[in-house]
Structure 1
């Protein structure tokens, strides 16, 4: 099994960011995000692929 950090959400107080040199210096927790919900969109091609996957999923629901 392979794990990759996804930038789904970071939750912290502004004071923590301003008072530390590194974002991950404190207590860091993680959650497992299912692969189908963690699509990495960096450009228009990725966006179109994500759109296609969503449309396919929606058509299978109906």
Structure 2
């Protein structure tokens, strides 16, 4: 699994998601995960449904 913990703020999330999808399609990674995304970022990242795992923020 390739897991994006935080967006870098420079690269569009749609571009990141597309690149990860290409890697998954090529068999280089099995799953795509992400965390620490707000609602708008989640919509951008998962617009085409590439996300396999999402961890939302947890307050302790």
Classify the TM-score, shorter chain: under 0.3
Larger Rg: 1
The structure that is helix-richer by fraction is 1
TM-score of the two chains, using structure 2 as the length reference: 0.28
The structure that is strand-richer by fraction is 2
